[in-house]
Amino acid sequence: MKAAILRAAREPLSIETVELDGPRADEVRIRVAASGLCHSDYHVISGDLGSDFPIVLGHEASGVVEAVGSDVRGLTHGDHVVTCTSIFCGHCSECQDGLNHLCSDKPVRAQPQLNSPIRQNGLPVQQFCNLGAFAEEMVVHRSGVVKLPKAMPLDVAAVLGCAVLTGIGSVTAGAEVKPGSKVVVLGCGGVGLNVVQGARLAGAAQIVAVDLNPAKLALAQVFGATDTILGGEGVVERVIEATGGGADYAFEVVGLPALQRQGFMMLRKRGTLMIVGITEMSAELSVPALMLLGREIRIIGSNMGSVPFQRVIPTYAQLYLDGRLTLDPLISQRIVLEDINRGYEQLIAGETARSVIVFN
């Protein structure tokens, strides 16, 4: 099968032929229908996140089940599915607490670096997030797969697996935004737009979208932003003014410690700073400690939306089919696998919210 391979940080991806092993007893083999270009893959391309190489990136995908292992229940050949990196065991203490997305005993293959299902000339090729979705097929643990209603278009469904899950979940399950509150979203890319949308669904009274790119601000209004502010110089003061004294929640959805600190500074007393953006590995967040206690600010993070994805993704699909979830404007363009490098250039240039690779 064809896959986009990254051989070293800061190199272009190359389209190569690889072999795929599986499914084993607890795995599902999926023909990928569509795969979104999320910024998290780019953190590996840029070297912000370390990795073993070669690797097949991609973690936001939909597809059709080709085959299931002997122990797999509830999925069969031909089912339409979305995958998610939140693979879980069901028995560790986090899973017992209902926090599958934080599972500490992910049931992946033993020594996955060596035993990756993706091989080339007999040698392992790493599978990003235990998925490796920039490929024609994937082999994924059963717990990383959820079935979709057949009416859900597969090209649109791909973005449910990360951007939508992460964005909406960080609002509803992560920060637990209360109706009537004032929310600021710093960074309105594919994930941030879904934070905006999540805040709208949660009944926020004011949703202030901040981005350096005016086109993203216009898009944020489509997703429910009530106010827009062009980022950069003076953004803290401008948000405090727009919110009449500070926001209840600030979501940082870029991955910059300086912006996280600005988010902290624009909160009102008892406000919450939610960290969604991924920083480079050594980054640290620094805030004035006295303000933290004097204002009783909360600083929290959210990983893949802090939600059990198998429960919420079918709900999101149904909300979309009912016309209550905005997904179409998120997909800036549909591309082929061979255009992946150009797609990432466009993401970094701010020209796209999401490019989605559509496979035949």
Ligand X SMILES: NC(=O)c1ccc[n+]([C@@H]2O[C@H](COP(=O)([O-])OP(=O)(O)OC[C@H]3O[C@@H](n4cnc5c(N)ncnc54)[C@H](O)[C@@H]3O)[C@@H](O)[C@H]2O)c1
The binding site for ligand X (CB under 6 A) comprises: 38-40, 43, 162, 166, 186-192, 210-213, 216, 231, 253-256, 259, 276-278, 302-304, 347, 350
C-alpha span between 56 and 6 (Å, rounded):
6
Cβ neighbour number for residue 258 with a 10 Å cutoff? 12
Residue 226, both tokens? 């009530």
Complex with Zn ion: residue 152 or 253, whichever CB lies closer: 253
Site string for Zn ion, 80-109 (x = CB under 5 A): --------xx--x--x-------x-x----
Q: Residue 33 or 307: which CB sits closer to ligand X?
A: 307
- Give the whole-angstrom CA distance, residue 164 versus residue 171: 11
Output the smallest distance, CB 188 to Zn ion, in A: 15
What residues numbered 210-249 form the site for Zn ion, per CB under 5 A?
none
188 is catalytic: no
Side-chain half-sphere of 109: how many Cα atoms within 13 Å?
23
Our CB check for Zn ion shows the closer of 154 and 347 to be 347
Query: Which of these is catalytic: 95, 103, 129, 162?
Result: 162
Q: Closest separation between CB of residue 258 and ligand X, Å?
A: 8
Which residue, 92 or 319, has its beta carbon nearer to Zn ion? 92
Provide the b/e sequence for 308-346 (b: ≥16 CB within 10 Å).
bbbebbbebbebbeeeebbbeebbbeebebebbeebbeb
Report the partner that residue 103 touches, choosing among ligand X, Zn ion, none (CB closer than 5 to 8 A by kind).
Zn ion
Question: What's the rounded Cα separation, in Å, for the pair 241 and 288?
Answer: 21
- 4: Cβ–Cβ under 8 A, 6 or more apart, which residues? 13, 14, 15, 56, 57, 58, 134, 135, 337, 340
186 binds, among ligand X, Zn ion, none (CB under 5 to 8 A by kind): ligand X
Q: Which residue bears the tokens 């994937």?
A: 138
Least Å from the CB of residue 264 to ligand X: 14
Q: What is the largest CA-CA distance in the chain?
A: 62
Least Å distance, CB 205 to ligand X, is: 22
For residue 28, give the nearest of 73, 93, 91 by alpha carbon: 73
Choose the one of ligand X, Zn ion, none that binds residue 175, judging by a C-beta under 5 to 8 angstroms depending on kind.
Answer: none
Rounded distance between C-alpha atoms, residue 146 and residue 74, angstroms: 10
DSSP 196-252: HHHHHHTT-SEEEEEES-HHHHHHHHHHT-SEEEE-STTHHHHHHHHTTS-EEEEEE
| Per-residue binding letters, 138-167, with Zn ion (x by CB under 5 A) | ------------------------x-----
- Which residue of 38, 152, 353, 357 would you call a contact of Zn ion, by CB under 5 A? 38
CB of 193 to ligand X, least distance (A): 7
Q: Is 103 a catalytic residue?
A: no
Judge whether 77 counts as a catalytic residue: no
Residue 188, classed as helix, strand or coil, is coil
22 binds, among Zn ion, ligand X, none (CB under 5 to 8 A by kind): none
Cβ closer to ligand X: 143 or 302? 302
Catalytic residue, candidates 39, 43, 80, 101: 43
Q: Is the peptide bond before 288 cis (omega within 30 degrees of 0)?
A: no
| Smallest distance, ligand X to C-beta of residue 23, A | 26
Q: For residue 84, give Cα distances in angstroms to 75, 264, 267, 288.
A: 15, 30, 32, 36
Per CB under 5 A, residues contacting Zn ion are: 38, 40, 88-89, 92, 95, 103, 105, 162
Residues marked active site are found at 38, 40, 43, 59, 162
